[in-house]
Structure 1
């Protein structure tokens, strides 16, 4: 079982969108039992809340389920529990490294490292600008790239 954790600030916009999209893609490739996906936030403002209405709307438009998802905090144990820890921006990466006591390694990286051809360093936070469609575009492309990386890593294992 490969475990993936997506991390953003409040765990209601970007990281749950990535969690839902990655689950959807894994199921479409008949891999839902080989890949477990979760998301978490570095801030505690929205603990227990479902994804933001903008995230839910764009996921609904694309037929992607977010059922049962609720915001939670990143915890230090996540470092051992997940093989891929994908931070939606560089601030999240810095915060996650702090939570992990400075440990990071190759399993902790930013989401946009999956899409270097885009020339974008961070997934913008749609909580502030409302551009959920653009974030979905980035998330879908990045999740596809991550899924290919995971499949290649699984084939080598």
Structure 2
């Protein structure tokens, strides 16, 4: 059995691709790439087909984390059936994803749907800030790195493999 994770942000060029790349890296480091698949998507269509933002790529390169082949895409109805964990980078994205579920007439998705910062309750913030607007990619990376570690622990516990 495989776990499938989808990270969701607004444009799918800053936060969610950063989370996707970091999580993939952590999964590989834990030798679980055959058990856990990771993807990302956005709720807005402004950057479809574009690679991650330069700030995201630069930070991932600094940490020697691959972002090869990543391109922005929209959340699709099929994602609600394909993914076990849908992790929204902020509360607005969570509302948008819930609205997509409602519009699609999907009353109950098998996916666990939650915000990224629920993984880091001690941080005292509800949302991962969007570095597209403030340029603070290092802070976002710190949150993403810590949160992905917590998510990996949660998935390992859920799937009963360590």
Q: TM-score, normalised by structure 1?
A: 0.96
Verify: 1:31 aligned to 2:32, yes or no. Answer: yes
Structure-2 residue corresponding to 1:8: 9
Distance 1:121 1:104, change over 3 A: farther
Cα distance between partner residues in 1 of 2:37 and 2:45: 23
Q: Which runs of at least 4 in structure 1 moved beyond 6 Å after TM superposition?
A: none
Cα distance between partner residues in 1 of 2:30 and 2:50: 29
Cα distance between partner residues in 2 of 1:90 and 1:154: 26
Give the RMSD, CA atoms, in angstroms: 1.3
SS in 1 for 2:55: helix
Structure-1 residue corresponding to 2:152: 147
> What is the aligned counterpart of 1:121 among 117, 126, 129?
126
Q: TM-score, normalised by structure 2?
A: 0.93
Residue by residue over 1:37-87, the C-alpha shift from the partner in whole angstroms, topping out at 9 and shown as x without a partner, is 000000000000000000000101111100110000001111111000000
**Is the CA contact 2:84–2:111 (under 8 Å) kept in the aligned structure 1?**
no
Cα distance between partner residues in 1 of 2:110 and 2:127: 19
Residue by residue over 1:92-123, the C-alpha shift from the partner in whole angstroms, topping out at 9 and shown as x without a partner, is 00000011116567700000000001001000
Cα distance between partner residues in 1 of 2:27 and 2:111: 22
Cα distance between partner residues in 1 of 2:92 and 2:108: 16
Structure-2 residue corresponding to 1:94: 95
Structure-1 residue corresponding to 2:78: 77
SS in 2 for 1:134: helix
Residue by residue over 1:114-136, the C-alpha shift from the partner in whole angstroms, topping out at 9 and shown as x without a partner, is 00010010000000000000000
SS in 2 for 1:100: helix
Structure-2 residue corresponding to 1:65: 66
Once the two structures are TM-superposed, the CA of residue 33 in structure 1 deviates from its matched residue by 1.1
In the alignment of these two chains, the number of paired residues is 156
SS in 2 for 1:49: coil
SS in 2 for 1:142: helix
